[in-house]
Each structure stands twice: as C-alpha cells, then as structure tokens.
Chains A and B, each alone.
Chain A
Amino acid sequence: MNALVPTRDGVRRFLSAYAIVAVLAAVFLLAVLISDAFLQPKYLFNVIRQIAPVGIAAVGVTFVMILGGVDLSIGAIISLSAVVSAVLMNGEAANLPMAIGVTCLVGMAAGAFNGIVLAFSRVSPFILTLATGIAILGITQIFSGGTARGIVSPGFREFFNYRIEGIVPVLSLAFLAAVLVGVLIQKRTLFGQYVFLTGSNRRAAILSGIPVRGVTIMAYTLSGLFGALGGLALLARSGVSSTMSGQGLEFQILAAIVLGGTTFEGGRGGVVGTLAGVLVLVIAFNIVNISGLPYHLQMVVMGLIIIAASAMYGQINARSQ
C-alpha cells in the first residue's frame, strides 16, 4: 500500500487527535465574539490559573483512563491533600517542604490503594473509586472535624500567585509544567507505552509479558500524586482548606479528559488532548459567567459536554471501523 494514501485507521486517528483542536478554536472564537477580554494576555493567563488545580489533577487521571480505568476518587483526594497540607504547614514557612512531601505521599497512598485493589480483582473501577472517594471524604472530615483547618505557610500563596511581568501567574506555569511532565511520561517512558498497550488490549498485553498489574498500580498511584499536586494548587489558589473544596472536581476532570479524546474504553488519547480539553472547559465556564447566565448552569454545560464529547468520539471511531 502506498504510505501516502490515507487509510481508514489513519483518518480515524487524525479525526480523534485533531477534533479537540477544532473545538478549542471554535470555543475560543465564540468567547472572543462575546467579550474581547479573551484577547488580553492577563485575562487568558488568569483563566489558566483558575483551572490549574483541575488541570494538574487531570494529567494524572489521563493515564488511568488510557489504561481503560477511571478515578472518581480524585475530587476527594484533592480535598484531602488540601486539608493535610494546610494542617502540616501550620502557618510556618519552615514546615513547607515537609508538608508538600507528606501531602504527595498521602495522595500516592490513596491512589495506590485504588490501583492495588483493581490490579488484583475484577471490580469495576467506576464503582470502586466512587466508593473510595466517599471513604476518603469521610477520612478528610474525621481529620478536619468538618470545618476548615490548618494555616497556610507564609510565602506559599504569595509565590504561586505572583505574576511574572505582572501578567503570568506562577500557578499557571505550574500547570503547564505538570502537562509537560505528563507528556514526557507518556512519550518517553516504558510505562507510558505499557499504559497504551494495556489499555488497547489487556489480554494481548498480559500475553506479551507486560506487567499489567504493576502498570495498573503505577497509573493509579500517579493519579493520586497529581491529585495531591492539584490539592496543593487549590490551596495556593484559594488559601482555604475546606473539606469540601475538591468536591465535584472529578466531574470537571473527567469532562476535560473525555473532551480531549481519551475515551472510557482506553487505549487512546493523551495528555496534550487533556490540556486542550481543560482549556475548552474553562473557556466554556467563563462564557457562562461573562454572559450573565446563572453560575450553576456551569454544571449543566459540563454534563452536556461529557455526553456530547463521548458521543462525538464514539461516532468517529464507529464510522471509520
């Protein structure tokens, strides 16, 4: 076959990979038409800063979804991390490295629990992580007594909210750095390849000697780690470690990932698509806000995006098969 003639599979891959870019362009154009604030760099970077906690966590969950799993406990992990880090910081700058380190370990432990259970059983990841999410929320509330607890170290928020040249907040760069790390893990590591192979054909992966259980545990642990970083980002953004701060963020995270072309079936997608999905989501939210629609319509928009995006990728994949 001539390599230059596009194959059906090639067309499908092309559509899957670039559909989100077209969507992003369309949403951005709509936003600019509604308000020219979207053309100002300061506003744009503010938008990126706003979505940083969701975006950072979404990078980790992307690997879980490429694997064919899902992590609905991510919102609870974000809440737990925000509370744990604020309590450990206890208002002292000296506690900062320890607080961040322990928070990351807590997030990884929560993710590893999900991963271990899923690696050694045939339980539905959807149901399991829904349940661990509730359990983690319970732990968070037991730990915090149900109210906001802990004091953020001085300098923590100031650093992340500092605007370089008065325009680019450090927090927005932290998000972009997390995306970069995610891309490197996806493209440059053996683990990244294994995740795709396991997600597209689990049985073949087992037969060809890929350590599927290890890959599963690693992916969920990574999701927990990025969840912890997302919790830290949330704390840096808001400064308040409410036990409910991360609640519902799993919806936004899933919506962004599915929008970015990583499907629930696994085996395709990637971190770059997730970045685009996150941007589409936050621009859509800002359109809802800026046009004076009720705040809670954001949730309706999000639900419709989840449904429409899954339907779209489902059609693309079904038609070209």
Chain B
Amino acid sequence: MAVGTLRPRLGAGQSGIWLILAAGFGFALLFLPDFRTFENLANILRQSAVLGLIAIGQTFVILLGMIDLSVGMIAGLVVVLSCWLLDIYPALTLPVAAAMIMLGMAIGVVNGSLVRWLKLHPLILTFGMLSVLQGLIFTFTDRSVGRASDALQQLANGELFGVPLSAILLLLLVLLTQAILSRTHFGFHLLAAGGNPDSARKAGINAGGLQVTAFAIAGGFAAAGGLVLAGRLGTGYPLAGTGLELDSIVAVVLGGAALGGGRGSIVNTLAGVLALTLVSNLLNLFGVSAFVQMFAKGAIVVVAILANQPRRAAR
C-alpha cells in the first residue's frame, strides 16, 4: 500500500530535463553536420560513461539530503592506483578492478560512518576527505604513472555492434540502480528518510545505516568511474579526478533532484549527465576555448541551481 502511493511521486513532473536534452540533440542533429557523424555520437556516449557512473552514486547520497565532494578524488585515486598496479600485473585486470571498487566503498564507509557517529555535516566532512585524498594522490605521485591494461582500455574505448562498451555498462547500471531505488525496500526507505528524516525515524527506518550505505554506494561507483577513466586515459594521471565531484552534483541537480533530499531518480540523472556532455561537445565543435568552457560550466551550474531551488518558504 505505502509502496504503491510512493511510486507516482518518483517521476512526476521531472521530465523537463529530457525535453531540454531532446531539443538540444534535435537542434544539433539538424544544423551541425559535424555533430551527426557516427563517431561523434559514439564519443558523446563514451564521454558520458565516467561522469555517469560517478553521478549514479552521487544520486544516492543526494537523495538522502547529503552530498559527497570526495567522489572526484576517489576516482582520481583509483586512476593512479589501478594504472600503477596494472603496469606491474597486466593480466590481473579483474582482481585489481575488484580491489579498486572495494577501496572506493571502504572510503565511502569511512565517510558515512563519520557522518553517522560524529554527526559531521556531510559537506564539510567530504570536503576534508577531498583534501586528504588529493594529498595522498600527490604524495604517491605528481606525474603520470603506469599504464592501464588492454582489458581496461577495451572497456573504456571498445565497441559492441558499434555501440561503446562503456555506454552499455552505464545503461545497464542505470537500469539496475533505478530498479533498486523504485522497487526495493531499501530504495523506499532512502527516499522516505531523505524526504522527511523525522517521520522516517519514527517509522523505524534506520537512517544511520542508510547514510553509511549511500556513501558506500557513492564510493563504489566513483571507483568504477575511475576505472573507466583510467582506461580512457591509458595512464595514471594524478589530476584526472579533479572537478568530477562538482560535475556529478550538477548532473544530479540538472536531473531534477532536490539537494534537500527525497526527490530524484537515476534515470533523470542520466539525462543530466548526457546534457552536460552534450554542452561540452557542442562548445568543442564550435571551437570555444577551454577557458570559456570553464566559465560556461560555472555559469550553467549557477543557472541550474537557481532554476531548481527549493520552493518552500524560508526556514
């Protein structure tokens, strides 16, 4: 019963981002011959994969009304560590990948536990964690190290029937996590606790456990994003993860999720990711410099959060 009444709220009134995305794609397909090449479209999908994976995890954290600023550096740490390890053990792609995902989840568990037990504000905690991880990455290496294994590069750049493998992986994981969110008790508890923590606690939902789980999911997906990024770059570039935390938050917010928690979906986050990638692809096609792109990105975030701000009256 309760499950049935919750369901319609998940997707209601949040298709705006898909409309904007469709309009953007339609415009680009019609008027830009360079855009509609198969290679460019495949590239957009490939570029979306890294951010998409990280944004999936970020969505879980934001649904609980928290935020994870450490995901970019988790991905960056994984890029450096996985390339370093795979250079030494090129055949061990699967174990290394598994270890990296465990590492990401472990960092997430640390984040979540500190938020839970020390009652730290997630923003300040993960901000501190960002600094710690960045310091660790640079202490480990200040130049590119190692080399991604062929298997990892294949995952990031390869294709299956012309469709990028990484995009297929992303789509599968989006469908899986969306199903978890809208079909399992865990998902309902997450949305309930994010929407109204007090009521959720009175209803017997273990909010602290949810916090730890959400951060662990975010860490695991950030590590997965880092693995694909390592495959794309081919080498362990220490600055690889910089800025991904903000991009992932922007993608989630563009997807219509409320930063206060309780509202949002993975499928809409995917639309946010595609929209961000589309914008940067178009700016590239128009030959806009990296500096102007940087300004444009900041400006887009400001507009996006202003358009998506909470409608409730002041506290």
Contact = CB atoms under 8 A, between A and B. Distances in A.
Contact of A314 (B119, B133, B253): B119
Interface string A204-242: 001000000000000000000000000000000000000
Contact of B295 (A126, A138, A264): A138
Contacts of A306: 124, 127-128, 131
B296 interface: yes
A130 B135 contact: no
Given A134-B297, A134-B301, A311 B291 contact: no
B134 interface: yes
Given A131-B298, A300-B139, A314-B120, A202 B246 contact: no
Contact of A299 (B134, B253, B297): B134
Interface stretch (B45-53, B152-160, B305-313): B305-313
A318 interface: yes
Interface stretch (A6-14, A115-123, A148-156, A173-181): A115-123
A301 interface: yes
B72 to A, nearest CB: 12
A299 B124 contact: no
B128 A135 contact: no
Contacts of B243: 134
A132 B300 CA distance: 10
Contact of B139 (A126, A255, A297): A297
A131 B306 CA distance: 12
B121 A138 contact: no
A130 B306 CA distance: 14
B168 interface: no
B250 to A, nearest CB: 8
A121 B307 CA distance: 10
Interface residues of B, number: 48
Interface string A288-320: 000000101111111111110011001100100
Given A127-B249, A131-B298, A134-B301, A122 B310 contact: yes
Contacts of B301: 127, 130-131, 134
Interface string B72-104: 000000000000000000000000000000000
A119 B11 CA distance: 31
Contacts of A203: 314-315
A208 B252 CA distance: 37
B142 A296 contact: yes
A186 to B, nearest CB: 22
A141 interface: yes
A310 B135 contact: no
A123 B298 contact: no
| Residue in A203, A299, A301, A305 whose Cβ sees the most chain B Cβ within 10 Å | A299
Interface of B: 67, 114, 118-121, 123-125, 127-136, 138-139, 142, 243, 246, 249-250, 253, 259, 289-299, 301-302, 305-306, 309-310, 312, 314-315
Interface of A: 117, 121-124, 126-128, 130-139, 141-142, 146, 202-203, 206, 251, 254-255, 258, 264-265, 294, 296-307, 310-311, 314-315, 318
23 contacts: A117-B302, A121-B309, A126-B123, A127-B249, A128-B305, A130-B301, A131-B301, A132-B298, A134-B246, A135-B298, A136-B298, A139-B295, A141-B290, A202-B315, A206-B314, A255-B131, A297-B139, A299-B138, A306-B124, A307-B129, A310-B120, A311-B118, A318-B119
